[in-house]
Structure 1
């Protein structure tokens, strides 16, 4: 899986072609869509959901999932470099800038899917995800001006989903030292 932030807006056709070349698979095996499109080819070996970011230094957020065995040894950094080469647009991935965005995003995606596939999630993993959100709170100052606005925008979107699937509850995950508002909320359906 890769979570990428891209500087220049891309047409769907060029992005699909670039992903197909990077993985490599035929273009018809790449499902590319914005998050509001209901009709998806969930069986495709490459799934990419893109989100337009508010005006700023970054244009797109890409969530790329590659089916196991499709691209052996392809890393998030490899996908980012391959797309940059093929689209002519620079981008970055959270590991490159030292930001645990992927961990926090996975938490809210699990919440959206009612903790799919098992319906369960351990409390220690939930706490780890909240600690990742602590790191995101200070990350905008560490990544530098060119990326800070895009990062703030991506975090704000994830925070909105987190708020949607949680209720205020000061006793849910807080250990007494945590300060962020996210520690004072608990999933509506507690999975542990």
Structure 2
């Protein structure tokens, strides 16, 4: 298994070796750590753990590319190893998230904190790294802004089995129309996916971020509105399939929300839009509010 870490503090080869041995429960002589000055002919390529380190510039100082042989057990998840390594090496560790956005990272501190962070890389020939934001205070980074990172929530991978089944069925019946942006079928499957993401994240108590941006919440209520308006553009049997997918999602949304007196509707829609036609889902709200 491979791991890619960045550390805030500069780390020597001995520190990295000892920390990896401790975290992975192997002997130090079974860990081979090298940097750009290491003679490659002298390396132990059969070691249980191989690690390449490099110095980097900016708010992070060392990069680590770690390879752990399959024979090492257990094989910790990246988050687990990052947290353990942060404690063992007494440093702050950054590791990439599953999202495709290059700036999306997790941060593990030696005190056990794990939080989201945003890391930018310059276009210089020798890149400079900037930790732009963290979602929780980090004692070793007093200069970094502490604030939520909305794009992380927007790009979370959320399972949407009902929307996926609808999309697959539409693709079998009308492959070209289902794949062409702007068509009625394409809009229906896209809006259904957006609505199911909201309901699933509500069902999961907004995990893993534990909050939800207000503007994204509004967008997904609007997606539900679009589904209601778009039914007339679909053949009857397609409308039935769409309704079969919507019914359990609408029921779950109603179950997980409470009646709203109107204040949230005003916050979501704005004063100029409060009288425009919206579905009943605009008159319910999560409790507590996630933003």
Q: TM-score, normalised by structure 1?
A: 0.52
Q: Is the 8 A contact 1:165 1:187 kept in 2?
A: yes
Deviation (angstroms), 1:119:
0.5
Unaligned runs of 5+ in 2: 1-158
- The Cα offsets for residues 117-145 of structure 1, whole Å up to 9 and x where unpaired, read as 11110111101111101101122211111
Q: How does 1:117-128 map to 2 (within 5 A)?
A: 117-128=208-219
Number of the residue aligned with 2:275: 177
Q: Which SS does the other structure have where 1:172 is aligned?
A: helix
Scaled by the length of structure 2, what TM-score is found?
A: 0.35
Deviation at 1:61, TM superposition (A): 6.1
- Compared with structure 1, are the counterparts of its residues 50 and 110 closer, same or farther at alpha carbon in structure 2 (3 Å cutoff)? closer
CA distance, structure 2, for counterparts of residue 158 and residue 108 of structure 1: 7
Q: Residues 160 and 197 of structure 2 are in contact (CA less than 8 Å); yes or no, is this contact kept in structure 1?
A: no
Q: Tell which has more relative contact order, 1 or 2 (C-alpha 8 A, sep 6+).
A: 1
* Aligned 1:25-44 pairs, distance under 5 A: none
- The alignment of Structure 1 onto Structure 2 pairs a total of residues equal to 118
Moved over 2 A (4+): 48-51, 60-63, 90-96
Which of 146, 149, 165 is matched with 1:62 structurally?
A: 165
The residue number in structure 2 matching 1:70 is: none
Gaps of 5+ in 1: 1-47, 52-59, 64-75, 85-89
Please tell me whether the aligned partners of residues 160 and 196 of structure 2 are also in contact (alpha carbons under 8 angstroms): no
Query: C-alpha distance in 1, partners of 2:249/2:220?
Result: 12
Structure 1 CA distance for aligned equivalents of residues 215 and 161 of structure 2: 30
Paired with 1:116 and 1:106, the residues of 2 have a C-alpha distance of 12
